[in-house]
Amino acid sequence: MFARLTDDELRTMQALQELEKLNDPQFEAWLKSCKPVSKLQFIKALAPDLCKNDIAGETGEIKVSSQKTKIKSVEKNKNDAPFEETNQQKTKIKPDETKINPHKGFLPVGRRMIGSKARQTIFLPLQDLSKHTVILAGSGSGKTVMVRRLVEEAALSGTPSLVIDCANDLAMLGDAWPVRPSAWEAQDAAKAQKYHQQAEVIIWTPGIEKGNPLKLEPLPDMSALKHDADELEQAVGMVRDALQVIAAPGTSQKAQKKRGVLHAALEYSAHQGQNGLTDFIELLADLPPDAGGGITNSEKLALEMADSLRAQMQTDILLKQHGAALDPAQLFGIGETSSQTRISVINFVGLPALASQQQFLNQLAMTLFTWIKKNPAPPDSPLRGLLVIDEAKDFIPSGKSAPCKDSMLRLAAQARKYGLGLIFATQAPKSIDHNIIANCNTHFYGQANSPAAIEVVKEQIRLRGGNGKDVPRLGTGKFYFYSEKTGVPFKIIAPLCLSYHPPTPPPEEEIIRRACKRKV
């Protein structure tokens, strides 16, 4: 029997043949659910009995390959081009959207909503996370669950994460659900079992010695950047901005001269291969003649700054170091003998003041900025790791400064080149710096509550070709999804997280107890 296919039908058949070649275990279930072949007009004409009452879908869908289909042959127009996605086809089933195995480089982000129905699962290429992600959604939207599931799916792909936990909401990423959630989809139970076998969740408590204290070096090793003038200048600027608050405060002429000496001394230190705040203080205390930038009385100014830094180290919990400082390789679990994928949850229970949290994140951003240049993602992996920041508005605020804001903006601009992905989430989208949103290629927009937040989210959706008129009433777990490959934003329903997410976060004492259990 012969039939002539339209261009769209031929493209669909070719795409489905490519999908079948992937040997994905979920392909059969997807065929049964969506029934793409039995909906084609030429199939309805050639095999009406198979399509009647959706029998094709109930029996496993008509097979796509020439060996399995019941159609003997298909007449093809000689001028037909190979399958190529066009703007009109971006909402159709694509190979990228039907790969379910995260080890093959794709993460499921949810099921596409058509009206009130949840349809096919949408997949995001893992490498797209290196171009950063932002989640703008209000309280009750399911934002934290969305963050958790992204981290979990990344771990299943072998990608480690550094997770900043400000509200104790992410401290249970290593806990299994006590009872299987009714909202789980068919494959989630098996996924959860694999996740808990494969992921190693470690809680760090900077500022609390009795927990699992995390000590970062306040002055990172910048020697890896000394051959790249632009990146070295950015790194020196980040460290100078962090130290000048202590060593050269104010706006006087003397303070300005101190900042000049500080900058020159940091550049000198980087070229000499020195690292660490203690060694840098010693350098300032005995400043070489060529390390002061030619500024008059540079030696005297440097000595005063050395004394200021020593005094601050006696009282500042983040400068008062005890023991060896940890580097990002340990936080990401790189080079460990264990085959598990590490998720480091950095909990701020020991840093209750926002200023201390910002100072810590500033140190972390500076450390990652210099470390990632020396340790980029390997050629066979699209991602080195993820840095996840919930309630990012506190750290990259809009319209005002914060100790870590410039460092985070610089890190976001540079990290994608080396395979470090950043995920920012906030329930106050008007309060986060617009440069962060613009620097993210993947967006999730959830239900917003306040009029200001609603307008910001709707505007972001409109800028990308959608309207978002139902943002105030989306409901829990539903988001508009956008990436550079999707065209306009469309609605998805996100899956529930694989780890236990209780109604209320655990108390501080429970955080510390958990941190003690898994010290590194």
Strands 106-114 and 490-493: antiparallel
**What would the pLDDT profile of 319-345 be if each residue is shown by its tens digit?**
775 556 788 999 999 988 888 999 999
Q: What percent of the chain has pLDDT over 90?
A: 56
State the pLDDT at residue 314. 87
State the pLDDT at residue 296. 93
Instruction: Specify whether the CB–CB gap between 107 and 421 falls below 8 A.
Output: no
Give the DSSP H/E element, type plus range, for residue 271. helix 253-271
Distance of CA 366 to the CA centre of its chain: 18
Banded pLDDT at 100 (limits 50, 70, 90): very low
Q: Which has the higher per-residue pLDDT, 111 or 220?
A: 111
Query: The tokens of 215 are what?
Result: 């000590």
State the pLDDT at residue 380. 83
State the pLDDT at residue 99. 36
67-76, 118-127, 193-202, 234-243: which has the minimum mean pLDDT? Answer: 67-76
Give the DSSP letter of residue 496. P
3-state secondary structure of 122: strand
Distance, in Å, from the CA atom of 243 to the CA atom of 240, rounded to the nearest integer, reads 5
- Over residues 365-378, the mean pLDDT reads 91
Give the DSSP letter of residue 422. E
Residue 293 clears pLDDT 80, i.e. is over it: yes
Q: Which has the higher per-residue pLDDT, 90 or 190?
A: 190
The burial class, CB within 10 Å (0-12 / 13-18 / 19+), for 11 is: buried
Amino acid code (one letter) for 207? G
Residue 24 clears pLDDT 70, i.e. is over it: no
**What would the pLDDT profile of 395-419 be if each residue is shown by its tens digit?**
999 987 888 999 999 999 999 999 9
Residue 154 clears pLDDT 60, i.e. is over it: yes
State the pLDDT at residue 238. 87
> What residue ranges of the chain are covered by domains with CATH 3.40.50.300?
125-215+324-517
State the pLDDT at residue 105. 84
The per-residue pLDDT of the chain, averaged, comes to 83
Instruction: Specify whether the CB–CB gap between 468 and 461 falls below 8 A.
Output: yes
C-alpha R_g of the chain: 27
Terminal alpha carbon distance of the chain: 67
Residue 11 clears pLDDT 90, i.e. is over it: no
Task: Quickly count: other Cβ atoms within 10 Å of residue 435's Cβ.
Answer: 15
HEC-encoded secondary structure of 361-380: HHHHHHHHHHHHHHCCCCCC
Please choose, from the candidates 19, 34, 29, the residue with its C-alpha nearest in 3D space to the C-alpha of residue 99: 19
Query: The tokens of 487 are what?
Result: 């065209």
Q: What percent of the chain has pLDDT over 70?
A: 80
User: Which backbone phi and psi does 200 adopt, to 5 degrees?
Assistant: -115, 105
Q: Which has the higher per-residue pLDDT, 442 or 61?
A: 442
Instruction: Specify whether the CB–CB gap between 436 and 398 falls below 8 A.
Output: no
Banded pLDDT at 3 (limits 50, 70, 90): low
Instruction: Specify whether the CB–CB gap between 242 and 407 falls below 8 A.
Output: yes
146-150, 271-275, 289-293, 346-350: which has the minimum mean pLDDT? Answer: 271-275
Record the pTM: 0.76
Please choose, from the candidates 41, 32, 35, the residue with its C-alpha nearest in 3D space to the C-alpha of residue 7: 41
- Over residues 130-136, the mean pLDDT reads 96
Task: Quickly count: other Cβ atoms within 10 Å of residue 297's Cβ.
Answer: 13
Banded pLDDT at 45 (limits 50, 70, 90): low
Distance, in Å, from the CA atom of 190 to the CA atom of 393, rounded to the nearest integer, reads 36
Distances (CA, A) of 487 to 106, 116, 411, 431, 477: 18, 21, 27, 26, 22
Banded pLDDT at 60 (limits 50, 70, 90): very low
3-state secondary structure of 399: coil
Instruction: Specify whether the CB–CB gap between 56 and 81 falls below 8 A.
Output: no
Residue 115 clears pLDDT 90, i.e. is over it: no
Distance, in Å, from the CA atom of 477 to the CA atom of 472, rounded to the nearest integer, reads 13
41-50, 51-60, 144-153: which has the minimum mean pLDDT? Answer: 51-60
Banded pLDDT at 26 (limits 50, 70, 90): low
Instruction: Specify whether the CB–CB gap between 74 and 3 falls below 8 A.
Output: yes
Please choose, from the candidates 120, 100, 92, 114, the residue with its C-alpha nearest in 3D space to the C-alpha of residue 34: 120
State the pLDDT at residue 436. 92
CB within 8 A of 39, min separation 6: which ones?
none
Letter string b/e over residues 164-198, b meaning 16 or more CB atoms within 10 A of that residue's CB: bbbebbbbbbbeebeeeeeebeeebeebbeebbee
What is the full DSSP assignment across 45-81?
HH-HHHHGGGHHHHTT----STTT-S----B--TTPP
The burial class, CB within 10 Å (0-12 / 13-18 / 19+), for 87 is: exposed
State the pLDDT at residue 19. 58
- Over residues 384-390, the mean pLDDT reads 95
CATH 3.40.50.300 matches 125-215+324-517: yes
- Over residues 165-190, the mean pLDDT reads 93
